[in-house]
Amino acid sequence: MDLLTLLQVLDSTVRMATPLLLACLAGLFSERAGIFDIGLEGKMLAAAFLAAAIASVTGSAWIGLVAGIGASLVLAIVHGLASITFRGNQLISGVAINFFAAGITVVVAQSWFGQGGRTPQLSDGARFQSITLPFAESLSGVPLLGPIYKELISGHSILVYMAMLIVPLTWWVLYRTRFGLRLRAVGENPAAVDTAGISVVRLRYSAVLICGVLCGIAGAQLATAEPAAGFIKDMTAGRGYIALAALIFAKWRPWYALMACLLFGFLQALELRPDLITNVIGIKVQGQLLSALPYIMTVVILAGFVGKAIPPRAGGEPYVKER
Amino acid sequence: MTTPAIELRGISKAFGPVQANKDISIRVMPGTIHGIIGENGAGKSTLMSILYGFYKADAGEIFINGKKTEIPDSQHAIAAGIGMVFQHFKLVENFTVLENVVLGAEDGAMLRPSLAKARSQLKQLAEEYELNVDPDAVIEEIGVGMQQRVEILKALYRQADILILDEPTGVLTPAEADQLFRILGRLKEEGKTIILITHKLREIMEITDTVSVMRRGEMTATVKTQDTSPPELAELMVGRKVLLQVDKVPAKPGAMVLEVKNLNVTDSGGVHRVKDVSFTIRAGEILGIAGVAGNGQSELLEVLGGYEFGKGEVLINGQSIDLTGRHSNGQTRRERGIAHVPEDRQREGLIMDFMAWENIAFGYHHDPKYQKNRLFMDNAAIRDDTADKMQRFDVRPPNPMLQAKSFSGGNQQKIVVAREIERNPDLLLVGQPTRGVDIGAIEFIHKQIVALRDQGKAILLVSVELDEIMSLSDRIAVMFDGKIMGERLPEKTNVKELGLLMAGVAGEAA
């Protein structure tokens, strides 16, 4: 395999990893605050649809992005109401959101555009285009670094770069700010937060809303960033669940989340190029095996083979002042 | 006359049909240690949670330093200068001491300056009050005594002038408790007002200036500590005269019932919990095992009760029992004459959602008199049997159809004790028989245990309450770090000596 092919695979790794990463960080905020969220998938899907629909109607990718975030936020608020205000079961609420999003997106798309549950093909102005970073062309002659810069680092949509910047931002918020300290505390022991005079409800809603915003960006990236050109039915294809697996794999930490998502993104990128694997290792590997690998690796992690993944202690439990 | 630091007027609070606090008024003078004593469920903790803004009172007024104050949440309580150390600590386990102290009392949106300020403040507080804690230690890695100091530091860091402590000594060794009392004395000298909630008469007598007694949600009396006595307080708590000392005749030990030789237990996490423990119990004898919670007593009970595996040898009436294999379970233990009142009645002793009669049948559901025929159980017979047992063990209300969770702690425990004692076992294992049980029920349960001994049964009593061990046991063994530190006779030892053994300081050879 030559350098260029490798770079192409890595390039698509970055692209595939981006929605995973955004969803994973979304889950990180929510779960660190003690709200389990298996509705990442549904929120991303709803966001992907509305982002593509609005972008195709208005012709602006940015308005589409805002609409996508809006759709995701609505579902996030539903999840917040169910699991914080009404102290319902967080898993059930998440599953309900996933089913709801899977159905409603197709129904609305069909009645709106009449194209069998898709949105129309987006024109170039209505989607996020790849950005060629400065000097990409002129530096391409430099050995090794040139191609890496041109093929791997340059040439992604703005959302990809945003996602990468959100990783250090998340770390900073979590470990260097008052909000982060409180957020981590409320996921471990909400009673400690409550007795310290801080509102558990408000903190958890903030976390759920941040989760909604990030899922919204993830959905918009899937549907409206090059090379995508619109929404198709079930286009998240389980990415929300892979993001959750990545979150466990990353032990609920931002930098590890980046690593986990790049790894899982790499597996997805390989899935697109089965010929490469055959070339390199000489055996034909089934695509299904590759798609199952993230889950298998997560089970291995959960079984405690590679260090222990300890979830936030108050995760999944509605906070009720004890009697 | 000075203004009271705290004055509560007519506080009432109901949880559903249960009136936890009824029209309570109390005045706490500044710079004093004010004890609030009462049985479990008397409403002490509820009252203090209202003062700390954790619950909202249905009626009543709160005055802080003479000023009427609304306390709708903990934030207002903190602002009013009130700090609270809960019975179950409110700490974030995987945070450092420093982070826990700062949480909720940060100075700005950025963390670093807050942490730096807290670090220097903690140092100052440590010097002032002898509250030494490593600010960078992680909570889950320090002992409970240390964790409690962190809770006190949290309150002081928030400039609390009024400190409420809810059952602070429940988890401490006698030496740690003494140290806590020294700290409280120091805080009082500095002019802080302290409210101490407890059900231990000894603590009230030792450290408080004034004591208020609560019974069934009502404040029954407030007296100066020096003008009262333990028997008087106990009577005020229960509403009748109580025997604080268990009446018992000297033991008449008979044949050997239980022999434990070199028992070792390693738990599922690989931690060596019980280390080379050997002891014996004869018929008609109570062996008490003292120790701070978590020193292997629980695992010892679990192995003998048949739901944890161990290594070594255990003989019942001279016959060895299986400790690891297929025959090591609760059922075979019962067949060999071992009955077990487990430490945690809500998790191990009862199924809280099941009715009393179902709980009475557990473990003994093979009893022929509970069977109608080969296929069906005779539920009516179990219910009759339950009603009968409830009568004799004074379970209130004596209704077999009520769910276990609808009984009070003391009555739940009576159900478990009735189930186990009535089986006429050769050996009774009892863990924390009176944890969370009111004084009236404690008296009753103690009498039952002594009565069983007098019938010539062997009894292994595990308790973290030293008073209980001292008054019930015929012999006392102290466990520390999985080992038996020594055996003593209750009449030839004292709390101080046992306390040292509990802290791992070996006395002369046992």
In tens, the pLDDT along B220-239 reads: 899 999 999 888 888 888 77
Most confidently predicted of A38-42, A141-145, B140-144: A38-42
Long-range CB contact pairs, A53-59, < 8 A, 24+: A53/A108, A53/A109, A53/A112, A53/A113, A53/A119, A53/A231, A55/A122, A55/A126, A55/A127, A55/A224, A56/A113, A56/A119, A56/A120, A56/A121, A56/A122, A56/A126, A56/A230, A58/A126, A59/A123, A59/A125, A59/A126
Residue B109 to residue A191, Cβ atoms within 8 A: no
Please check the confidence at residue B379 and state whether its pLDDT lies above 60.
Answer: yes
Q: For the segment A216-259, what is each residue's pLDDT rounded down to a tens digit?
A: 999 999 999 988 889 999 999 899 999 999 999 899 999 999 99
CA atoms within 13 A on the CB side of B143: 11
Chain A residues touching B92 at Cβ < 8 A? 184-185, 188-189, 192
């790049």: which residue's tokens? Answer: A262
The answer to whether B361 and B450 are in contact (CB under 8 A) is no
Residue B454 is given by DSSP the state H
Phi, psi of B378 (to 5 degrees): -95, 85
**Which residue on chain B is closest to A186 by alpha carbon?**
B92
Whether A239 contacts chain B with CB within 8 A: no
Residue B486 CA from chain centroid, whole number: 24
């200068």: which residue's tokens? Answer: B81
β-pair partners for B198? B37
How far apart (Å, rounded) are the C-alpha atoms in residues B59 and A125? 64
Please tell me the CATH code under which domain B6-238 is placed.
3.40.50.300
| Nearest CA-CA distance, residue A172 and chain B, Å | 10
Tell me, what amino acid is at B308? E
Whether B405 contacts chain A with CB within 8 A: no
Beta strands B210-215 and B33-38 are: parallel
Q: What is the pLDDT of residue A80?
A: 97
**Which residue on chain A is closest to B54 by alpha carbon?**
A195
Residue B426 is given by DSSP the state S
Whether B75 contacts chain A with CB within 8 A: yes
How far apart (Å, rounded) are the C-alpha atoms in residues A119 and B188? 73
| Nearest CA-CA distance, residue A37 and chain B, Å | 22
Q: What is the pLDDT of residue B508?
A: 47
In a mutational test of the A interface, the residue from B98, B103, B408 whose CB has the highest number of chain A CBs within 10 Å is B103
Phi, psi of B271 (to 5 degrees): -85, 130
Q: What is the pLDDT of residue B274?
A: 93
């530096």: which residue's tokens? Answer: A139
| Nearest CA-CA distance, residue A251 and chain B, Å | 14
Whether A161 contacts chain B with CB within 8 A: no
How far apart (Å, rounded) are the C-alpha atoms in residues A30 and A77? 12
**Which residue on chain A is closest to B151 by alpha carbon?**
A192
User: Residues in chain B, how many?
Assistant: 510
User: Residues in chain A, how many?
Assistant: 323
Q: Which of B77, B91, B111 sits opposite A192 (nearest CB)?
A: B91
Q: What is the pLDDT of residue A307?
A: 66
The answer to whether A270 and A290 are in contact (CB under 8 A) is yes
Please check the confidence at residue A110 and state whether its pLDDT lies above 90.
Answer: yes
Q: For the segment B136-149, what is each residue's pLDDT rounded down to a tens digit?
A: 999 988 888 899 99
Task: Show the beta-strand stretches assigned E in B205-249.
Answer: 210-215, 218-224
3-state secondary structure of B429: strand
Residue B74 to residue A179, Cβ atoms within 8 A: no
Please check the confidence at residue B103 and state whether its pLDDT lies above 90.
Answer: yes
Find the mean pLDDT for residues A18-31.
97
Look at residues B292, B308, B409 and name the one whose alpha carbon lies nearest to residue B350. B409
Residue B92 to residue A188, Cβ atoms within 8 A: yes
The answer to whether A30 and A202 are in contact (CB under 8 A) is no
Sign of CA dihedral B352, B354, B358, B361: negative
End-to-end Cα separation, chain B, in angstroms: 57
Residue B109 to residue A179, Cβ atoms within 8 A: yes
Whether A321 contacts chain B with CB within 8 A: yes
Q: Which of A149-153, B12-16, B208-212, B243-247 has the lowest mean pLDDT?
A: B243-247
How far apart (Å, rounded) are the C-alpha atoms in residues B56 and B438? 26
- Per-residue pLDDT band at A82 (split at 50, 70, 90): very high
């969220």: which residue's tokens? Answer: A37
How far apart (Å, rounded) are the C-alpha atoms in residues B483 and B489? 18
- pLDDT, greater one: B2 or B356: B356
Please check the confidence at residue A109 and state whether its pLDDT lies above 80.
Answer: yes
Chain B residues touching A313 at Cβ < 8 A? 93-94
- Per-residue pLDDT band at A54 (split at 50, 70, 90): very high
């593509």: which residue's tokens? Answer: A52
The answer to whether B209 and B217 are in contact (CB under 8 A) is no
Burial of residue A159, with CB atoms counted within 10 A of its CB: 0-12 exposed, 13-18 middle, 19 or more buried? buried
Look at residues B125, B182, B177 and name the one whose alpha carbon lies nearest to residue B150. B125
3-state secondary structure of A115: coil
Domain ranges of chain B: 6-238, 256-502
Whether B484 contacts chain A with CB within 8 A: no
Task: Show the beta-strand stretches assigned E in B283-392.
Answer: 285-290, 311-316, 319-320, 338-341
Q: What is the pLDDT of residue B240?
A: 72
Q: For the segment A59-81, what is each residue's pLDDT rounded down to a tens digit?
A: 999 999 999 999 999 999 999 99
Asked if the bond preceding A227 is cis, omega within 30° of 0, the reply is yes
| Nearest CA-CA distance, residue B215 and chain A, Å | 18
Residue B251 is given by DSSP the state P
How far apart (Å, rounded) are the C-alpha atoms in residues B6 and B80? 11
Chain B residues touching A175 at Cβ < 8 A? 111
Whether B63 contacts chain A with CB within 8 A: no
Domain B256-502 in the same topology as domain B6-238: yes
Please check the confidence at residue B126 and state whether its pLDDT lies above 50.
Answer: yes
Please check the confidence at residue A31 and state whether its pLDDT lies above 70.
Answer: yes
Helix axes A40-58, A200-224, angle to 10 degrees: 50
Find the mean pLDDT for residues B321-348.
88
Look at residues A266, A275, A316 and name the one whose alpha carbon lies nearest to residue A293. A266
Q: Copy the structure tokens of residue A218.
A: 């993830």
Long-range CB contact pairs, A173-180, < 8 A, 24+: A174/A32, A174/A254, A175/B111, A176/B110, A176/B111, A176/B112, A177/B109, A177/B110, A177/B111, A178/B106, A178/B108, A178/B109, A178/B110, A178/B111, A178/B114, A179/A206, A179/B109, A180/B111
Q: For the segment B458-506, what is each residue's pLDDT rounded down to a tens digit?
A: 999 999 888 889 889 999 999 988 999 999 999 898 888 888 888 887 6
Whether A160 contacts chain B with CB within 8 A: no
Residue B106 to residue A178, Cβ atoms within 8 A: yes
Find the mean pLDDT for residues B12-31.
88
Q: What is the pLDDT of residue B243?
A: 64
- Per-residue pLDDT band at A4 (split at 50, 70, 90): confident
- Computed over every residue of chain B, the mean pLDDT equals 89
Whether A192 contacts chain B with CB within 8 A: yes
- Per-residue pLDDT band at B510 (split at 50, 70, 90): very low
User: Taking CB atoms and an 8 Å cut-off, how many pairs form between chains A and B?
Assistant: 77
The DSSP result for B292-305, as a single string, is -TTSSHHHHHHHHH
Q: Where are the alpha helices (DSSP H) in chain A?
A: 3-32, 40-58, 61-80, 90-113, 136-139, 145-147, 158-176, 178-188, 190-195, 200-224, 239-249, 254-272, 274-281, 287-302
Looking at chain B, the whole-number percentage of residues with pLDDT higher than 70 is: 98
Whether B151 contacts chain A with CB within 8 A: no
- Per-residue pLDDT band at B276 (split at 50, 70, 90): very high
Q: What is the pLDDT of residue B294?
A: 79
Please check the confidence at residue B277 and state whether its pLDDT lies above 60.
Answer: yes
Whether A191 contacts chain B with CB within 8 A: yes
Q: Which domains does chain A have, with CATH numbers?
A: 3-302 (1.10.3470)
How far apart (Å, rounded) are the C-alpha atoms in residues B416 and B390? 10
Whether A304 contacts chain B with CB within 8 A: no
| Nearest CA-CA distance, residue B446 and chain A, Å | 28
Residue A185 to residue B103, Cβ atoms within 8 A: yes
β-pair partners for B262? none
Chain A residues touching B86 at Cβ < 8 A? 195
Chain A residues touching B110 at Cβ < 8 A? 176-178
CA atoms within 13 A on the CB side of B437: 27
Q: What is the pLDDT of residue B385?
A: 94
Q: Which of A176, A179, A197 sits opposite B73 (nearest CB)?
A: A197
Q: What is the pLDDT of residue A274?
A: 78
Find the mean pLDDT for residues B310-316.
92
Phi, psi of A41 (to 5 degrees): -55, -50
Please say whether the structural domain B256-502 has been given the CATH code 3.40.50.2300.
Answer: no
Range 339-358 of B in CB contact (< 8 A) with A: none
Whether A226 contacts chain B with CB within 8 A: no
Please check the confidence at residue A309 and state whether its pLDDT lies above 80.
Answer: no
